[in-house]
Amino acid sequence: MELKVEHIETDFLVLGGGTAGCYAALTFSARSAAKVLIAEKANIKRSGCLAAGVNALNAYITTGHTPQDYVDYARTDAAGIVRGDLLISMSRGLNRAAQRLEEIGLTIQKNPDGSYMARGERNIKINGENIKPLLAAAVAKPQVTVLERVAACSYIMGADKRVAGAYLVGVDDPVLYVISARAVLCATGGAAGLYRPNNPGFSGHKMWYPPFNTGAGLAMGIQAGAEMTSLEMRFVALRCKDTIAPTGTLAQGMGARQINSLGRVYEQDYGLSTSARLYGTITENLEGRGPCFLRTVGATSEQDAEIEKAYLNMAPSQTLRWLESGLPPSQKNVEIEGTEPYIVGGHTASGYWVDTHRETTLKCLFAAGDVAGGCPQKYVTGALAEAEIATEAAISYMSDELKQTDIEQTQRIKVWLESHLMRTMPETGDTVDGLEEEMQALMDEQAGGITSNYQYSQASLEQAAAGIYSLSKRAKALSVPDMPELTYLLELRERLIVCRSLLAHLAARKESRWPGFAKHADYPEQDDSFRCYVNSKLEDGKVKVLFRDLVEEGEVYEHHDR
């Protein structure tokens, strides 16, 4: 099969039409007359982390609090490994982002005096089932082009590590898109599917993070030599068992406490950080006091109705379970469990190493949302705030000359993609699904997945690294019959690239700073000699680990003079 090459020129290219991507295009169109193109693998109306909706904006500066309070909360939760300069600039934009969402039609619940209704110290309640359709509708502007059903696979690299656009392939049609741009925003989301999930096989899609977020943007950056940060700060969500529905709605909306099988509240024994809540649950189970629950028994019928309605906004499977069983939260406690690990910079600090303008170490390439590192606890409004910051900085490049694409570079990409479409089936009988399952099993068992209670050792990481290297070689020999299967092959490749860098990060941090998210069996305690950023970049085909000093309170880090 031969790929048709289609060249497209735009001013601002946004990779990913999710939360940050749509808001970036909305911001750009309001502040510049130049052209913007959103490239999305699915359909922007229901893609990304907000596809199913959400029932609260979990990052908001409520009455009596300041942006600095939010910075302090995020720093404490991440045990100090954050970029304060990124957090403060993000925090200052949270309330503005919430107000903008209301302006485009989002229903934010209000108190009798008209103020937003808080849910805890940093959250406000919304009716958010339609939040993604609202964002998608808001970018329907003359200067915004939306290209859907395309998968990004590589950056177009110009001179001096300057990103001049991206290569994408059609998910359905045999087309190689060569999109040239003055500036590029990566907003492709984090990486799911690296580890074996709670519900494998037919129900493998029933996970916390979108299964279609495969680390594409992260892998593209790694391959291009961008510096990455804190990949070892994985995120493991504490969720309702089986449905993998969020637990925060119960904990904050109903005040439900974590209890063990003896009915004892255990959360205070381990701490109240996100990782500690998970670690306590793991430990209680290991020591024979599981299963663990959120104590909802004793709630009122009014609370039942409110909670069931809230879950319809984001995780209807949990509401269906209550209705089908006839046992609402007030009559049966909700069992909880941890998910598989994810790389997601909206909750932890993992992702691209960026400056305060959200520009990566590759010039003209910006990152926002789950791919941008150093700034955890973003959630929805934080991703929007970062998109705004990145877009404002990207506008400064609009006067730059649009670079011509290297013909030889395009031909190499075309030949590489076509080689997977033209081969006969290899004698090994390997398939994309088969290799993906092997990868997930390997990461689960040797690199701190569910099976090992999120624990690993230097020896197990070395074994995992050797396995990922072998799987990567086998993946290069795969053949696929059509474009959808080529997309799945590219997704496997992306996950393997991210796994390789992740393993290097896990091995480099010789301590256990976030025991719920990751426990190093050889170094089970926190060690302040590792109070630093673990960064990396690919050099000469090898992952080079870099240790950077923390950007302390009041300091600012920038890549370039602007």
pLDDT, tens digit (0-9, with 9 covering 90-100), for 233-292: 999 999 999 999 999 889 987 889 999 999 999 999 999 899 999 999 999 999 999 999
% residues pLDDT > 90 (the chain) = 90
CB contact at 8 A, 252 and 359: no
Residue among 544, 520, 548 nearest 533 (CA)? 548
201 within 8 A of 211, measured Cβ to Cβ: no
Show Cβ contacts of residue 310 under 8 Å, excluding neighbours closer than 6 positions: 55, 249, 253
Per residue in 322-357, pLDDT (tens digit) is 999 999 999 999 999 999 999 999 999 999 999 999
Q: Tell me how far apart the alpha carbons of residues 562 and 294 are, in angstroms, rounded to a whole number.
A: 50
Confidence of residue 82 (pLDDT cuts 50, 70, 90): very high
Amino acid (1-letter code) at residue 38: I
Q: How many CB atoms sit inside 10 A of residue 103's CB?
A: 9
**Is the model's pLDDT at 106 over the cut of 90?**
yes
Whether 194 shows a pLDDT value over 90: the answer reads: yes
State the Cα–Cα distance between residues 194 and 251, nearest whole angstrom: 28
The alpha carbon dihedral of 23, 57, 312, 281 has a sign of positive
Q: Kindly tell me the sign of the dihedral angle through the C-alpha atoms of 274, 351, 346, 46.
A: negative
Q: Is pLDDT larger for residue 305 or for residue 161?
A: 305
Task: Tell me the pLDDT band of 64, cut-offs 50, 70 and 90.
Answer: very high
Instruction: Write down the pLDDT at residue 206.
Output: 81
**Which residue from 163, 209, 213, 215 is spatially nearest to 185, judged by alpha carbons?**
163
Q: Which residue has the tokens 């300091």?
A: 555
Give me the mean pLDDT over the 402-408 stretch.
88
Residue range 71-96: mean pLDDT, rounded: 98
Bridge pairing between strands 183-186 and 365-367: parallel
Q: What are phi and psi of 497, to 5 degrees?
A: -65, -45
pLDDT confidence of residue 189? 97
> Given pLDDT bands bounded at 50, 70 and 90, which one contains residue 210?
very high
Count of CB atoms situated within 10 Å of the CB of 443: 26
Determine the average pLDDT of the residues in 60-75. 97
pLDDT(506) > 60: yes
In the predicted structure, residue 201 carries a pLDDT above the cut 90: no
For the chain, the first-to-last Cα distance in angstroms comes to 46
Query: What are φ and ψ of residue 281, in 5° steps?
Result: -65, -45
Average pLDDT, the chain: 95
Q: How far apart are CA 325 and CA 546, in angstroms?
A: 52
Q: What is the pTM of this model?
A: 0.96
Please give the DSSP secondary-structure letter assigned to residue 348.
S
Q: What is the pLDDT of residue 133?
A: 97
Quick check: 562 pLDDT over 90?
no
pLDDT for 455 equals 97
Residue 156: per-residue pLDDT: 97
pLDDT at 320: 95
3-class SS at 195?
A: coil
In this prediction, residue 425 has a pLDDT band, given cuts at 50, 70 and 90, of low
Helices (H) and strands (E) in the chain, counts: 16, 22
Question: Exposed e or buried b for every residue in 43-55, given b needs 16+ CB within 10 A?
Answer: ebbebbbbbbbbb
In this predicted structure, the answer to whether residue 561 has a pLDDT above a threshold of 90 is: no
Residue 319 amino acid letter: T
Q: Which domains does the chain have, with CATH numbers?
A: 238-338 (3.90.700.10), 420-530 (1.20.58.100)
| pLDDT at 527 exceeding the cut of 80 | yes
Q: Compute the radius of gyration of the chain from its Cα atoms.
A: 23
What pLDDT score was predicted for residue 313? 84
- How much is the average pLDDT of 437-443? 97
3-state helix, strand, coil in the chain (%, to 5): 40, 20, 45
Q: Is the confidence at residue 437, as pLDDT, over 60? A: yes
Calculate mean pLDDT across residues 513-520. Answer: 95
